[in-house]
A and B are shown apart, each in its own frame.
Chain A
C-alpha cells in the first residue's frame, strides 16, 4: 500500500469515527428531547378527559423522574425532594384542578455533559382553565438536569429560573 493510500484510509477512518460520534451525540439529544415531548403530552389535559386516561397520564408522569428527584418552584408544595410515586400523585392533584391544560416547551437547549448526564434550559408555558373557570397563562424559564438510568433519560432536578428578581 502506498503512502498516499494509507493517508486516505486514515482520513476516511477519522471521518467515519467523527460521523459516528456526531450521530451518537445527536441520538442522545433526540432521546432527551423526546422525554420533554412525553412530559408535555402527559401533563396536558383535554376537556372531558376520560378517567382511565387521567390515571394513566398521572402514573406515566412519575416514570419520567429519578428516585429521588428535586423540584424547585414558587409553590411550596411543588418544591423539595420527591419520589416518582409522589410526582405522580402531585401531578394528578394539579391536573385535577384544571378542566383544560396545555404545557408547551420552547427554546429547548440541551447539553449532554457526560454519558449519563444532561442539562437543559427551556421556557415552559402552561395555559388552561381551572375548574372554577379562571384562566391560567404562565411562562417560566426552567433549568433541568437529567440522568441516564437503565438506558432511559430521567429528570433528576428541575428548577424555575427567576428572570425578573424582585
Chain B
C-alpha cells in the first residue's frame, strides 16, 4: 500500500459542507472544533467560484511532526499522521507550522483556553486500542480498522472529495479529468503529466460517434 491521501476535485465541490457534517457526526467532534472545513474562493462570482474541502493532508514530511516539542506525532504504516493526546501539551506550535490550518484546539479543557490538539485522523483513531471506547472518546471512530474509508469522503454526494490510497485516488481523478477534459489546473496537471508548461491541459478524449 502507498500512502493514504485526500484529494478534493474543485470542479465538483458544491460547498454543501456534507463532509464537515459527516466528520463531526462520525467522530462526535466537540463544539468549536472543525477537523474539516470547506474553503471557497471567488465566492459569488459567476463561473469563477471554486470550493475545496480541507483537513489534515497527512503530509509525507509533516511539519507538525517536525516542530512538536514533545514528539507526540507518529505516522502509521499506511501513511496517516496521528498523535498521542496523552503527550500533547497544547502549545500550538503545530498550528503555526501546518500550512492547512488542520490542528484545532478546543476552547475548554485541562489547559484552560487552549486544550489538547485535535485534528483529522483519516478516521484511523489514535494510539489507544483499536475500536475501543477510549480511542473513540479521544480521537473518534477508527473506520480504517472497520475496513472503511473516512466518513467525509464516503459521504461526499458529488464524489468531489476522494480519500484512500494515493495511487488509487490519483487514478480515479486522472480518468475523470481525461473524460471531461478540464479542471486539472489547480492540481498542476501540466507539471505532473503534461509537457511542463504552466496551466497545461490534458489531451481531449476521443469522441465516440
A, B bound? no
Q: Which residues of A contact B (CB under 8 A)?
A: none
